[in-house]
Amino acid sequence: MENQTDAIESKKIKIALLGNPNVGKTSIFNVLTGSRQIVANWPGVTVEKRTGVMKHANHTVDVVDLPGTYTLGATSLDERIARDFLIDERPDVALVIGDAVNLERSLYLLLQVLELRGDVVLAVNAVDEARKAGFDIDKHELSKQLGIPVVLTSAVTGEGIEELKNTLIKSAKSSSHVHYLFTDEIEASLRNLSDRIRGNTSLSAFDKRWLSIKLLERDKEAEKLTGMSLDYDYSIEIAETRYKYIKRILSTSVKGKEKIGWNLSEAIDHVMTHRFLGILIFLAIMYIVFQLTFTISGPLSTMIEDLLSGLGSVVGSWIGIDWLRSLVVDGVIGGVGAILVFVPNIFILFLALGVLEETGYLPRAAFVIDKLMYAMKLSGRSFISLLLGFGCNVSSIMSTRSISEPKERLVTILVSPFISCSARLPVYVLIAGTFFGVNAGIVVFFLYLLSIVVTVLSALLINKLFFKGEPSTLIMELPRYRKPRLTSIVLYTWNKGRHFLEKAGTIILAASVVIWLLTYFPTEGTGSFAATIGKALGPLFVPLGYTWEMITSLVFGIAAKEVIVSSLTTFFGNLSMSGTSLDIMRTIISPEIALSFLVFVLLYVPCMPTLAVIKNETGSYRFVFFSAFYSLAVAYAVALIVRVVGGLL
Amino acid sequence: MKGRVITFWLLFGGALLAFLSINSFYGLLLTKREPFLAIIAGINSAIYFLGLSEKRSDLRKRYSHLLVGSFFSYILSIYQVLVLLSIWLEGLLSSTCLLVFDELNLPLIISGFALSFLFDFAKKQFETNNL
């Protein structure tokens, strides 16, 4: 008997975490699961799926962090994932995270979860911030009104977390399902529909009342599932009833100061989203970010470079065979090392972007830029996708799935590769550092600006030529500004930056060896295969003034843009960003050719993974070819202009 | 803080940052020539000055310009300190002192840190719902 109880006690429990975006859902997930997390994708889609394990009082609990949503409709991918998980996976408990400062909107989602299923727990998060703002939340009253357990929490201070864990375990063992009532007319329709659904045995797994509510809301998936379609639409009446119910609950359970003035976020937003200042502040912030990326990382890169140079000398002295020494020292250590030198740049860039995201500035940037984007027939939502492109174009293209308008999504996919990804940064730092000295940071900033300008102009052109229609409107909630937390920023930086390290150890290592082979055989230097490739394409690049080394590195760069740095390093021999061995390159090309080369690297053919993801997302090779040839044409034209104008100055 | 006092601080902050902008642009006093930093300081100055265009009676809006303007000045001084740190580290690696007086841009650093007190004050006004 005792063993049986233990078996029940230690039974695996599954909990689903739901909540609006920016309510601290992921923070609660982090404190519940600690480091026991797995980040993957939801099956068939590229929305991030986070699962973790919570150990508490002899129980092992699987916690699944569902995407943030405002409703449980089926209009967006995030909503569909959350809803399908609740229906198909049937977690033991649905934990809804609410925002203590903005409880009304959180309760709207909660009511929809309650319509769908029982065993729901509400965690009212950021209760410390609510208290600061003068709100007093009566959790007992709230729990009585809703008929479910309510816990007040703060993921930042840890308040209520133990109580939440206990409540979750307790709720997993109970079974309760509460309903609230709509107007008489709606209730009558619900009864009628429920009776009709009851007759359908294939729908026995679903909650009849919930399906009936969805039918009254004219939910397309519910209509498809039941094969029923109604002539009337009660969605507005149902939403009104929910809000009335929420107002009634809040009137007795939340007491607070009468709001007189602005809070801090509103005050900051008055300036940050100002119609003139907003854009200027955005540009100033981006300038500071890129300058910091360049300047702070300088000495750190030098340290890594010295270390690698020392390693090369030591390893070189161990190897007696000439070709093997060249392969290891010049090919492997030189090729991969040329990329590793830029690790500080990449990590500092992500650190800065992490701070901007943690503080809540990035959504403001999207808001500010929305007007400009709208003029280019794109929306702020496209901007958010494009913004991700500064990290990696692949993730930028994948994130366009949140854009509901198909044409707008396609345009965003096609222009995304113009956004300057982090893989291009090492090339900028190397070439700009070599040719432009103290002004290198400014050159890099201009390249980023150019990437934005070309992106928006291309969007306008593609829209004008191929698509008609208006972009979707951006409706987004601006989260409260928050003090960035060190642990979150470190996690963000590491998660984004490690991709770069993984690449260095895999694709770039392989590419470095291939490049070395092509440079060493059949004879080293101008007689090599690499030189043959570059010279064969040479006539095409005569107007741009590129040498065969530059042309070959561009060809290799299609595999991954960082490979351009490895290639140049191998071809020119021991290039370094400190400028000690750069005389060879400086004597071969002029600064305007170097700048034109940077522009070409920024704009030319997307890397292989990006082309592959364009094929996956658009389902057509047509767009892959379009992207490749269009970007090549734009790169050639702009690089030529830069070279000619630069030569005149 | 009364309306007239906020006007004074907005004018003061705007004028100070405008001076720092010109100073950095031409490299006049204790700084080298840095046109882009000058533009950033100019934007900071505009944050203060545009606060003056808000209605005199709407203290919240004027305060918000003071709040963001002074925070931005603080960020600029931190940025400058970070740049100096990297220059110092670079010098350390090559066993030479690369920090020269003109690199420091002391007026910008000192002003930013001084204005951070103004930011604290403005922040407190919003946090205590004093407006």
Closest CA to A23 of A127, A139, A149: A127
Model pLDDT for residues A175-208, shown as the tens digit of each residue: 666 676 788 888 888 888 888 888 787 877 788 8
A306 in contact with B, Cβ within 8 Å: yes
Kindly list the residues from chain B whose CB atom is less than 8 angstroms away from the CB atom of residue A280.
Answer: 43, 46
Say which of A263, A270, A284 has its CB closest to residue B61.
A270
CA atoms within 13 A of residue A303's CA, in its CB half-sphere: 14
Q: What's the rounded Cα separation, in Å, for the pair A8 and A316? A: 63
In whole angstroms, how large is the CA radius of gyration of chain A?
29
pLDDT, mean over chain A: 83
Which of A413 and A175 is assigned the larger pLDDT? Answer: A413
Which of B103 and A43 is assigned the larger pLDDT? Answer: B103
Q: Is the pLDDT of residue A577 over 80?
A: no
Contact A37, A52 (CB under 8 A): yes
Q: What's the rounded Cα separation, in Å, for the pair A555 and A534? A: 8
Say which of B43, B63, B65 has its CB closest to residue A284.
B43
Residue that has been written with the tokens 């940025």 in this structure: B79
**What pLDDT, on a 0 to 100 scale, did the predictor assign at position A417?**
94
Kindly list the residues from chain B whose CB atom is less than 8 angstroms away from the CB atom of residue A445.
Answer: 36
Give B52 to chain A, closest Cα distance, Å.
Answer: 13
Question: What token pair was written down for A436?
Answer: 């432009």
**Burial class, B5, CB count within 10 angstroms (exposed 0-12 / middle 13-18 / buried 19+):** exposed
Nearest residue in chain A measured CA to CA from B90: A299
**What pLDDT, on a 0 to 100 scale, did the predictor assign at position A117?**
85
Kindly list the residues from chain A whose CB atom is less than 8 angstroms away from the CB atom of residue B75.
Answer: 288
Say which of B47, B65, B129 has its CB closest to residue A260.
B129
Residues of B with CB under 8 A from a CB of A: 36, 39-40, 43-44, 46-47, 50, 60-61, 63-65, 67-69, 72, 75, 79, 82-83, 85-87, 89-90, 92-93, 123, 126-127, 129-131
Q: How far is CA A5 from CA A1, A169, A174, in A?
A: 6, 15, 16
Highest mean pLDDT among A9-23, A134-148, A201-215, A246-260: A134-148
Mean pLDDT is lowest, of A148-152, A250-254, A405-409, A611-615, for: A405-409
Kindly list the residues from chain B whose CB atom is less than 8 angstroms away from the CB atom of residue A291.
Answer: 36, 79, 83
Say which of B72, B86, B129 has its CB closest to residue A299.
B86
Q: What's the rounded Cα separation, in Å, for the pair A242 and A251? A: 14
Which of A557 and A407 is assigned the larger pLDDT? Answer: A557
Question: What token pair was written down for A175?
Answer: 């079974």
Give A370 to chain B, closest Cα distance, Å.
Answer: 21
Contact A497, A350 (CB under 8 A): yes
User: Is A264 close to B129, i.e. CB distance below 8 A?
Assistant: no
Kindly list the residues from chain A whose CB atom is less than 8 angstroms away from the CB atom of residue B61.
Answer: 270
Mean pLDDT within A410-420:
91
Say which of B67, B82, B90 has its CB closest to residue A267.
B67
Per-residue pLDDT band at A218 (split at 50, 70, 90) = confident
CATH class of A184-256: mainly alpha
Domain ranges (residues) in chain A: 2-173, 184-256, 277-311+322-477+513-648
Q: What's the rounded Cα separation, in Å, for the pair A286 and A353? A: 9
Q: Is the pLDDT of residue A384 over 80?
A: no
Q: What's the rounded Cα separation, in Å, for the pair A175 and A273? A: 47
Question: What token pair was written down for A217?
Answer: 């809301």
Q: What CATH number labels A2-173? A: 3.40.50.300
Which of A292 and B13 is assigned the larger pLDDT? Answer: B13
Per-residue pLDDT band at A393 (split at 50, 70, 90) = confident
Determine the straight-line distance between the first and last CA of chain B, rounded to whole angstroms. 10
Model pLDDT for residues A77-89, shown as the tens digit of each residue: 778 888 888 888 8
Cα dihedral A404/A405/A407/A411 (nearest 10):
-60
Give A352 to chain B, closest Cα distance, Å.
Answer: 12
pLDDT, mean over chain B: 91
Share of chain A above pLDDT 90, in %: 22
Interface contacts A/B by beta carbons within 8 Å:
91
**What pLDDT, on a 0 to 100 scale, did the predictor assign at position A208?**
84
Q: What's the rounded Cα separation, in Å, for the pair A202 and A225? A: 9
Question: What token pair was written down for A312?
Answer: 């090369």
A264 in contact with B, Cβ within 8 Å: yes
A581 in contact with B, Cβ within 8 Å: no
Per-residue pLDDT band at B131 (split at 50, 70, 90) = low
A132 in contact with B, Cβ within 8 Å: yes
Q: How far is CA A191 from CA A157, A195, A511, in A?
A: 46, 6, 67
Mean pLDDT within B25-30:
90
Mean pLDDT within A410-432:
89
**What pLDDT, on a 0 to 100 scale, did the predictor assign at position A365?**
85
Say which of B36, B72, B126 has its CB closest to residue A287.
B36
Contact A539, A551 (CB under 8 A): no
Question: What token pair was written down for A358?
Answer: 């943690």
Share of chain A above pLDDT 70, in %: 89
A471 in contact with B, Cβ within 8 Å: no
Model pLDDT for residues B78-111, shown as the tens digit of each residue: 999 999 999 999 889 888 888 888 888 999 999 9
Q: Is the pLDDT of residue A325 over 80?
A: yes
Q: Is the pLDDT of residue A115 over 80?
A: yes
Which of A434 and A638 is assigned the larger pLDDT? Answer: A638
Helix (H) or strand (E) holding A255: strand A254-256
Nearest residue in chain A measured CA to CA from B51: A271
Q: Is the pLDDT of residue A522 over 80?
A: yes
User: Is B40 close to A288, i.e. CB distance below 8 A?
Assistant: yes
**What pLDDT, on a 0 to 100 scale, did the predictor assign at position A258?**
57
Q: Name the percent of chain B in helix, strand, coil, to the closest 5.
A: 80, 0, 20
Closest CA to B15 of B93, B59, B64, B73: B73
Task: Name the β-bridge partners of A256.
Answer: A135
**What pLDDT, on a 0 to 100 scale, did the predictor assign at position B80?**
94
Q: Which residues does A68 contact at the CB level (< 8 Å), separation at least 6?
A: A19, A20, A21, A22, A23, A25, A78
User: Is A268 close to B67, i.e. CB distance below 8 A?
Assistant: yes
Q: Is the pLDDT of residue A579 over 60?
A: no
User: Is B126 close to A264, i.e. CB distance below 8 A?
Assistant: yes
Which of A64 and A205 is assigned the larger pLDDT? Answer: A64
Contact B79, B108 (CB under 8 A): no
ipTM of this complex prediction, to 2 decimal places: 0.96
Q: What's the rounded Cα separation, in Å, for the pair A196 and A208? A: 9
Q: Is the pLDDT of residue A255 over 50?
A: yes
Question: What token pair was written down for A143?
Answer: 């729990």
Q: Is the previous residue joined to A522 through a cis bond, with omega within 30 degrees of 0? A: yes
User: Is A281 close to B72, i.e. CB distance below 8 A?
Assistant: yes
Give B78 to chain A, closest Cα distance, Å.
Answer: 11
Look up the pTM and report it.
Answer: 0.75
User: Widest CA span of chain B, in angstroms?
Assistant: 58
Q: What's the rounded Cα separation, in Å, for the pair A593 and A416? A: 26
